[in-house]
């Protein structure tokens, strides 16, 4: 009879088997789970309202003669250019809707795993911490890109179709790049922001409150500090003001605050770095067994 | 004997899913075991008789009183839920004393009852630790403690033995048996037959939301014995093994698995077969590598009974 | 046990539990922010003339009214029933000899008091830090009490509303967030009597200081934009009425409804 050897936990030092996209099942499941909720579908569909409004604006801009009586003084607004696209990407309602979509579709991404102690299950498979985080982040990438880059590019295409020429594209050849660049910025920022908060609690309801609370609180704080100090630098305390500042810079527009855009990029990058540090500490493959 | 808990034509739907289907049952004093595989409807039944859910059809009474929205009835009921859930930020002592407040006892009595209940479940020395730091067994025991701390006449325990180690199980089984000797009515659910068998001889078999059979253990055993068991024996010489069993009347069927090394036996008398197999192995020196019983679980028995 | 006794016991248990949780500590810490801001205001606006209440309303009430009590009430209010269902601990409560409405009322009272304590500490510190130079003025204390009263009424009304949402909806927090930070803010831009369909309107109507239209900083613009105040008595009655009505609805629903745990 073979000897029963002493058993204990030991780290496996071998190399993980190669697989091209080990994070994909996590992403797919995350997206599927979000769409299983009826209310999420409703909110997600509602998040396209700004895109629809701007699409109508595009159409009207090409038919100004037909809509003369409606638009009158708004024709300046309907002068389609980078400013119009910047207005779509940086308007409060789009940012609010993105936060809303993420609060309901992504709050539980890590919180639920912590709640059900399933981190060990993930890491008992050939999956690294980076794969896990990339899988979770990709869920957020999917939602944010679908609400930003996709409608942004669709708006450009419709502009070209409505205009019937490539003049718009020749006038602003860099615009698609701005759209992709700002969408990428929003995507990366929100991925870190939401995952950071999702990793702080095992209660998804609490995470939803945090995602919303911090976003709103930063705006309220900006308002209060601005009342006290009366300096535009206080906008750096606001998540949305920083995103709007960065957006205006990327679209080559006048900055909404008289603060160099670099500061806003720094603040946003700082939040991402903080999130990366916290996530690195919180997501552990080996847990102490109680 | 009069029924302590009476359910009459009880049905419960979860949307389109039928959780419980026209169940009528009378639970008398002593221990009654509710046996059935996961999803059979045991917990649904327990939730209905503890007023956590309202039946779609039928009635349920405890000591002749309706249960739904009748708080008075709960003074005499102790319920231990199946889920491993607690107010995690409190100690075992705080959990128990907190819940005992809801019975209107004086503070001194609350302390006395909590101490006694924790003592019964062997948690007295861990009472000041946070529940979130308790082991699975301790959590299970504190859950039982909260169900008995107010000295209820009726104790309803939903899968109380799950997650316990053998020693913990033995202790809890003894505790539940003590409830019976104290004249209480105990309804306990499990999906493991030997667990229920160790507790009581009175069993109710539940399957797919219906009561399949009820009676004493010997009757249920008889039903189960009638169920032909499949046993797989992987051996170096399965044909020689088969030859040794050919004359055995208790064996209904023998087949060889595709791997050519496994003999699959179907028998009504499992215990007899295992007894003979041991003898054959010792006498003939046939090497047996693995013995398994693919359908040796409650589900298979239930399927057999349903088919019957 | 009779209903008042049951409410008292539930209140005692959940007030104790509420104090224990880490979330309460986080929310209490959040309450220190206005205190820090008050210190900053004292340093930055040192010697600025004007009404004390004006400065307080313009700057710190924005935090309390637009954010702090809403987020507190949203979290604790929806917790009254939703956390029991989510954590599956409801079985421990409804298998006790307690009338179901007592569970709602007791938890509501426990959480409302907990929130009020957090808000009161935060308000007291920030208010008196900001007005440290005027501690001898009796009017100061009256102003303080009226702020405390406004926030107390706010907590009662908002928590009752969110308790109702938590009782009736599975994902009450979504509707709560949209109501608390969407509807309550957007409604002030609507014409006519529409703003009376919000809770914040009545709270703003009770503020001891209301600046003239167009005056003040951004904070005031946020808080008192286009406010057409309701009279004090009506505003108090409306807030009490909102609280009582939603609480009664929540109790009734909790009694009638059965809660299924999600698998």
Residues 76-135 of C with CB under 8 A from B: 87-100
CB-CB contact of B90 with C20 (8 Å): yes
CB-CB contact of B272 with B229 (8 Å): no
Greater confidence (C42 vs B75) lies with B75
Residue B215 pairs in a beta bridge with B203
CB-CB contact of B129 with B86 (8 Å): no
Instruction: State residue B23 phi and psi, 5-degree precision.
Output: -95, 125
Rounded CA-CA distance B303/C218 in Å is 72
**What's the gap in Å between the CA of C169 and the closest CA on chain B?**
17
Nearest CA in chain C to A97: C178
Whether residue A68 is predicted with pLDDT greater than 60 in this model: the reply is yes
Residue C242 placed within a domain: yes
| Banded model confidence at residue B144, pLDDT cuts 50, 70, 90 | very high
The pLDDT assigned to C218 comes to 43
Residue C262 placed within a domain: no
Whether residue A72 is predicted with pLDDT greater than 80 in this model: the reply is no
Q: Distance of CA C180 to CAs B261, B302, C245, Å?
A: 70, 53, 18
Tally of domains in chain C: 1
Residue of C12, C24, C96, C253 to mutate for B, most B C-beta atoms under 10 A:
C96
Average pLDDT in the A64-84 region?
Answer: 66
The pLDDT assigned to A163 comes to 77
Residue C252 contacts B where some CB pair is shorter than 8 Å: no
CB-CB contact of B78 with B154 (8 Å): yes
Average pLDDT in the A44-55 region?
Answer: 88
C-chain residues within 8 Å CB-CB of A203? Answer: 86
Rounded CA-CA distance B272/B176 in Å is 33
Residue of C67, C70, C84 to mutate for A, most A C-beta atoms under 10 A:
C67
Q: Exposed, middle or buried: residue A118 (CB in 10 Å: 0-12, 13-18, 19+)?
A: exposed
A-chain residues within 8 Å CB-CB of C33? Answer: 221
B54 vs C12: CB contact, 8 Å cut-off? no
Give the lowest-confidence range in A68-72, B140-144, C234-238.
A68-72
Residue C223 placed within a domain: yes
Whether residue A78 is predicted with pLDDT greater than 70 in this model: the reply is no
User: What whole-number percentage of chain B has pLDDT above 70?
Assistant: 92
Domain ranges of chain B: 5-224, 228-307
A-chain residues within 8 Å CB-CB of C61? Answer: none
A103 vs C177: CB contact, 8 Å cut-off? yes
User: What whole-number percentage of chain B has pLDDT above 90?
Assistant: 45
Residue C261 placed within a domain: no
C-chain residues within 8 Å CB-CB of A217? Answer: 30, 67, 71
- Residue ranges in chain C modelled with pLDDT below 70: 46-55, 57, 191, 209-226, 262-263
Nearest CA in chain C to A224: C59
Counting one residue from A and one from C, how many pairs have CB atoms under 8 Å apart? 76
**Start-to-end C-alpha separation, chain B:** 31
Write out the residue range of the structural domain in which residue C159 sits: 3-256
B-chain residues within 8 Å CB-CB of C4? Answer: none
Give the lowest-confidence range in A22-31, B185-194, B202-211, B214-223.
B214-223
CB-CB contact of C110 with C15 (8 Å): yes
Q: Distance of CA A252 to CAs A83, A154, A235, Å?
A: 8, 20, 19
Considering CB atoms only, which of B51, B75, B85 is closest to C87?
A: B85
CB-CB contact of C251 with C168 (8 Å): no
Chain C partners (3+ C-beta pairs within 8 A): A, B
**What's the gap in Å between the CA of A216 and the closest CA on chain C?**
8
The pLDDT assigned to B116 comes to 94
Residue of C34, C35, C75 to mutate for A, most A C-beta atoms under 10 A:
C75
| Banded model confidence at residue B274, pLDDT cuts 50, 70, 90 | confident
Residue C263 placed within a domain: no
Query: Under DSSP, is residue B81 helix (H, G, I), strand (E, B) or coil?
Result: coil
Whether residue B130 is predicted with pLDDT greater than 90 in this model: the reply is yes
The pLDDT assigned to C250 comes to 97
**What's the gap in Å between the CA of B123 and the closest CA on chain C?**
19
Per-residue pLDDT of A117-167, as tens digits, reads 888 888 877 788 888 999 999 999 999 999 999 999 998 888 888 877 777
Average pLDDT in the A10-37 region?
Answer: 79
The pLDDT assigned to A75 comes to 55
C-chain residues within 8 Å CB-CB of A213? Answer: 67, 71
Whether residue B138 is predicted with pLDDT greater than 60 in this model: the reply is yes
CATH of B5-224, one of 3.40.30.20, 3.30.530.20, 3.40.50.300, 3.90.1650.10: 3.40.50.300
User: What is the secondary structure of B3-29 as a DSSP string?
Assistant: -SEEEEEEEEEETTEEEEEEEEEEE-S
B52 vs C90: CB contact, 8 Å cut-off? yes
Rounded CA-CA distance B171/B20 in Å is 32
List the CATH code of the domain at B228-307. Answer: 3.30.70.100
Nearest CA in chain A to C181: A216
**Interface predicted TM-score (ipTM) of this complex, two decimals:** 0.85
Nearest to B197 by CA among B163, B167, B165, B169: B169
Nearest CA in chain C to A40: C174
Per-residue pLDDT of A184-242, as tens digits, reads 999 999 999 999 999 998 888 889 989 989 999 999 889 888 878 888 999 999 999 99
Whether residue B146 is predicted with pLDDT greater than 80 in this model: the reply is yes
Neighbours of B248 (CB within 10 A): 15
The pLDDT assigned to B271 comes to 78
Greater confidence (C262 vs B47) lies with B47
Average pLDDT in the B153-171 region?
Answer: 88
Whether residue A6 is predicted with pLDDT greater than 60 in this model: the reply is no
Residues 147-186 of C with CB under 8 A from A: 171, 173-174, 177-178, 181-182
The pLDDT assigned to A124 comes to 78
B101 vs C90: CB contact, 8 Å cut-off? no
List all residues 6 or more positions away from A73 whose beta carbon is below 8 Å from its beta carbon: none
The pLDDT assigned to C235 comes to 95
User: What whole-number percentage of chain A has pLDDT above 90?
Assistant: 37
């Amino acid at each position: 009879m073979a000897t029963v050897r002493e058993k204990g936990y030991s780290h496996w030092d071998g190399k993980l088997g190669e697989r091209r996209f080990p994070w994909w099942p996590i992403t797919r499941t995350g997206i599927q789970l979000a769409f299983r909720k009826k209310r999420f579908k409703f909110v997600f569909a509602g998040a396209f309202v700004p895109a629809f409004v701007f699409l109508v604006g595009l159409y009207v801009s090409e038919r100004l003669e037909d809509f003369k009586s409606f638009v009158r003084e708004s024709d300046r607004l309907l002068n389609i250019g980078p400013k119009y696209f910047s207005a779509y990407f940086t308007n409060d309602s789009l940012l609010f809707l993105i936060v809303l979509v993420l609060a309901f579709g992504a709050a539980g991404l890590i919180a639920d795993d912590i709640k059900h102690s399933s981190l060990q299950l993930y890491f008992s498979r050939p999956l690294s911490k980076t794969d896990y985080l990339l899988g979770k982040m990709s869920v957020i990438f999917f939602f944010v890109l679908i609400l930003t880059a996709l409608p942004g590019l669709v708006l450009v295409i419709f502009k070209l179709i409505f205009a019937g020429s490539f003049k718009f594209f020749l006038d602003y050849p860099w615009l698609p790049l701005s759209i992709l660049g700002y969408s990428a910025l929003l995507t990366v920022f929100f991925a870190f922001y939401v995952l950071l908060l999702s990793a702080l609690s095992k209660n998804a309801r609490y995470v939803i409150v945090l995602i919303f609370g911090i976003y709103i609180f930063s705006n309220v704080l900006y308002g209060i500090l601005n009342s006290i100090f009366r300096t535009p630098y206080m906008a750096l305390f606001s998540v949305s003001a920083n995103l709007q500042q960065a957006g205006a810079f990327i679209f080559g527009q006048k900055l909404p605050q008289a603060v160099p855009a670099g500061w806003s990029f720094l603040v946003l990058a700082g939040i991402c770095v903080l999130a990366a540090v916290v996530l690195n500490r919180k997501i552990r493959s080996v847990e102490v067994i109680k | 004997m009069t029924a302590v808990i009476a359910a009459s034509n009880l049905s419960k739907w979860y949307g389109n899913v039928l959780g419980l289907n026209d169940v009528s049952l009378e639970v008398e004093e002593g221990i009654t075991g509710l046996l059935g595989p996961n999803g059979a409807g045991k917990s649904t039944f327990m939730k209905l008789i503890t007023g956590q859910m309202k039946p779609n059809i039928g009635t349920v009474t405890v000591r002749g009183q309706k249960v739904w929205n009748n708080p008075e009835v709960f003074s005499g009921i102790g319920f231990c839920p199946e889920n491993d859930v607690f107010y995690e930020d409190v100690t075992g002592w705080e959990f128990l004393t907190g819940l005992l407040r809801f019975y209107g006892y004086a503070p001194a009595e609350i302390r006395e009852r909590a101490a006694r209940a924790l003592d019964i479940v062997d948690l007295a020395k861990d009472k000041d630790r946070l529940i979130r730091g308790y082991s699975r067994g301790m959590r299970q025991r504190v859950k039982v403690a909260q169900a008995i701390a107010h000295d209820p006449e009726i104790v309803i325990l939903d899968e109380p033995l799950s997650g316990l180690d053998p020693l913990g199980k033995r202790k809890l089984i003894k505790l539940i048996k003590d409830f019976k000797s104290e004249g209480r009515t105990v309804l306990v659910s499990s999906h493991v037959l030997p667990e229920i068998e160790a507790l009581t001889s009175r069993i109710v078999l539940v399957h797919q939301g219906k009561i399949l059979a009820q009676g004493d253990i010997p009757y249920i055993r008889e039903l189960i014995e009638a169920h032909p068991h499949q046993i797989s024996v992987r051996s170096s010489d399965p044909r020689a093994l088969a030859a040794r069993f050919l004359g055995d009347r208790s064996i209904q069927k023998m087949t060889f698995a595709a791997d050519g090394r496994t003999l699959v036996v179907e028998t009504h008398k499992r215990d007899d077969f295992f007894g003979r197999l041991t003898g054959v192995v010792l006498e003939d020196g046939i090497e047996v590598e693995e013995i398994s019983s693919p359908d040796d679980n409650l589900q298979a028995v239930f399927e057999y009974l349903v088919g019957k | 046990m009779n209903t008042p006794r049951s409410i008292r016991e539930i209140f005692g248990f959940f007030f104790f539990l509420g104090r224990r949780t880490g979330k309460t500590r986080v929310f209490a810490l959040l309450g220190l922010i206005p205190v820090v801001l008050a210190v900053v205001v004292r340093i930055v606006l040192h010697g600025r003339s004007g009404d004390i209440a004006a400065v307080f309303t313009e700057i710190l009430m924005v935090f309390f009214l637009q954010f702090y009590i809403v987020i507190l009430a949203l979290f604790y209010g929806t917790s009254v029933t939703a956390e029991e269902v989510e954590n599956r601990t409801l079985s421990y409560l409804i298998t006790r000899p307690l009338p179901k409405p007592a569970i709602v009322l007791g938890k509501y009272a426990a959480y409302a008091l907990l929130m009020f304590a957090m808000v009161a500490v935060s308000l007291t510190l920030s208010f008196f830090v900001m007005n440290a130079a005027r501690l001898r003025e009796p009017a100061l204390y009256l102003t303080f009490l009226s702020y405390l009263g406004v926030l107390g009424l706010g907590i009662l009304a908002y928590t009752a509303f969110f308790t109702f949402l938590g009782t009736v909806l599975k994902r009450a927090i979504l509707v709560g967030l949209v109501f608390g930070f969407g509807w309550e803010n957007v409604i002030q831009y609507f014409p006519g009597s529409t703003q009376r369909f919000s809770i914040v309107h009545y709270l703003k109507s009770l503020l001891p200081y209301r600046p003239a239209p167009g005056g003040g900083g951004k904070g005031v613009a946020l808080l008192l934009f286009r406010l057409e105040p309701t009279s004090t008595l009506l505003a108090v009655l409306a807030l009490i009425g909102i609280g009582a009505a939603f609480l009664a609805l929540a109790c009734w629903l909790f009694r009638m409804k059965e809660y299924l745990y999600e698998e």
